[in-house]
A and B are shown apart, each in its own frame.
Chain A
Amino acid sequence: MDVRSVQSIAAIITNQRDAVSGGAPIFFVQDDEERQRVAFLIGRLLDGMVHDLGNGIFIVVKY
């Protein structure tokens, strides 16, 4: 069990340009398949956990 607090959102991956803005790097993708592929890669590269917010937005969180 990891008890450290959430440190940061490392990346946001979405195909909805209007839904996101702000400080974290945002990766715009074309469709679901690309979103999953990009999220998987960023998660592995940064040792981050990919979370699905359920509204077409994936975030990669560094714990």
Chain B
Amino acid sequence: MMDHGPAIAAGVVAGTIARWLMLCIDYRNYPGFPHGYVTHMSLGFIAAFLGAVAVPALVEGEFTAVTFLALAAQQFREVRAQVRESLELIDAHELIKRGPNYVDGIARAFEARNYLVMMVSLLTSSLWDLIGPPAGLAGTALGFLVARGFMRGKRVGDIANIREGRLRFDGPNLYVDHIYIMNVGLPEMREAVLKYGLGVLIEPIHEDARDTLNNPGQRQAIVHDAARYLGARKDIATPEFTPLIRKDVETGTLGMVITPMERDVNQLLAAIKRVPVLETAKGTSMHTRIGRRAAD
């Protein structure tokens, strides 16, 4: 019987490190608390262990070991449900909500990360076991690269040109450049919006981007992240300070108004560029024949 100890150990270590790296590069500010890290590192360790033992078990003829992978899949689906449930509860008491689409995207990402961990540990332990330690380390590197590729989804900055827009009032009506945003009845609130507010124009660069940005869930993700980075001036019972995005129906360009605590337009533009494109919002009309022909 072969000694599989080193291969399994290497797989577990590689997978756990992969989970830790994926926590570090998380731009979604979740989980932003120590207990959340402990939970996800522990699950990452379990995922790494399951991935690491799979191939050594097969080498020993223990074919039933594969059923453990199914058990793991079940476990990680529960991770998704648990993340979603906790974020939904938190969201109910946010002044500027993430919105269900964003919550769903984060929950999916947390489930998927455990599968990526399993892939890293599986690659590491199987190559180490079947070929040798150097191959195992190469497998780790390959796994990290693949995981990183998956984690780097598109950002709003990749699909749109984002620039400052001019806030102006026409009577009680607020506009960003030419895009109507809302009606603000009280003169002092109009002054406050002009004093503290910033306007942004988000111009989609192609038809798919236009469809993506048209999704209310995607727009909510943009205002949530912008308010998160720059701080929200909005308080309970001040709906005038709610950041809003409205569309120019002619072109699909979005106009956004936000009244942040830090009135720094360059950082606001940078924050919007970093907002992830939500999987559930992604426009795909240009992947269809009808959509392409219609756009001609």
Of A1, A49, A59, which is in contact with the most chain B CB atoms at under 10 Å from its CB?
Answer: A1
CB distance from B188 to the nearest CB of A (A): 8
B187, B219, B239: the one contacting A48 at CB < 8 Å is: B239
By the criterion CB–CB under 8 Å, are A2 and B172 in contact?
no
| Among B172, B182, B236, residue most surrounded by chain A Cβ atoms (within 10 Å) | B172
Q: Contact at A3–B216, with CB atoms within 8 Å?
A: yes
Which residue numbers of A lie inside 8 Å of B, CB to CB? 1-3, 36, 39-40, 43-52, 54, 58-59, 63
Taking each of B186, B238, B242, B245, which has the highest tally of chain A beta carbons within 10 Å of its own beta carbon?
Answer: B186
Question: Are B237 and A43 neighbours in the complex by a CB distance under 8 Å?
Answer: yes
Query: What distance in Å separates the Cβ of B169 from its nearest Cβ neighbour in chain A?
Result: 11
With a cutoff of 8 Å between Cβ atoms, the chain B residues found around residue A2 in the complex are 242, 244
Given contacts A2-B244, A3-B216, A48-B239, 20 further A-B contacts (CB under 8 A): A1-B242, A1-B243, A1-B244, A2-B242, A3-B220, A36-B188, A39-B185, A40-B188, A43-B237, A44-B237, A44-B238, A47-B236, A49-B182, A49-B239, A51-B183, A52-B183, A52-B184, A52-B185, A54-B171, A63-B239
Inter-subunit contact A50/B244 (CB<8 Å): no
Task: Give CA–CA (A2, B188) in the complex, Å.
Answer: 22
Bound together, the chains give a CA A50 to CA B189 distance in angstroms of: 10
Q: In the complex the two chains form, what is the Cα distance from A48 to B184 in whole Å?
A: 11
A50 touches B186 (CB 8 A): yes
1/0 per residue, CB under 8 A from A, across B195-239: the answer is: 000000000000000000000100110010000000000001111
A49 to chain B, nearest CB (A): 4
In this complex, the interface size class of chain B, counting residues with CB under 8 Å from chain A, is 20 to 34
> Contact partner of A43 among B182, B186, B219, CB < 8 A?
B186
Q: Please give me the 10 A-B residue pairs with the lowest Cβ-Cβ distance, nearest first.
A: A50-B185, A52-B172, A52-B185, A49-B239, A3-B216, A47-B237, A51-B183, A1-B245, A51-B185, A1-B219
Bound together, the chains give a CA A48 to CA B239 distance in angstroms of 7
Does B240 make an interface contact (CB < 8 A)? yes
Closest to A48 in B: B239
User: Which residue of chain B lies nearest to A49 when distances are taken between CB atoms in the complex?
Assistant: B239
**How long is the Cα–Cα vector from A43 to B99 in the complex, in angstroms?**
24
User: Would you give the shortest CB distance from A42 to chain B, in whole angstroms?
Assistant: 11
Given contacts A43-B237, A44-B237, contact A51 B172 (CB under 8 A): yes
Measured in the bound complex, the distance between the Cα atoms of B240 and A39 in whole Å is: 13
Of A39, A47, A54, A58, the residue contacting B239 (CB under 8 A) is: A47
The answer to whether residues A39 and B236 also contact, given A1-B216, A1-B245 and a CB cut-off of 8 A, is no
Pairs across A and B, CB under 8 Å, 27 listed: A1-B216, A1-B219, A1-B220, A1-B242, A1-B245, A1-B246, A2-B244, A3-B216, A3-B219, A3-B220, A36-B186, A39-B185, A45-B237, A46-B237, A47-B239, A49-B182, A49-B185, A49-B239, A50-B186, A50-B189, A51-B184, A51-B185, A52-B185, A52-B186, A54-B172, A58-B185, A63-B239
Q: How far is the CA of A43 from the CA of B223 in the complex (A)?
A: 23
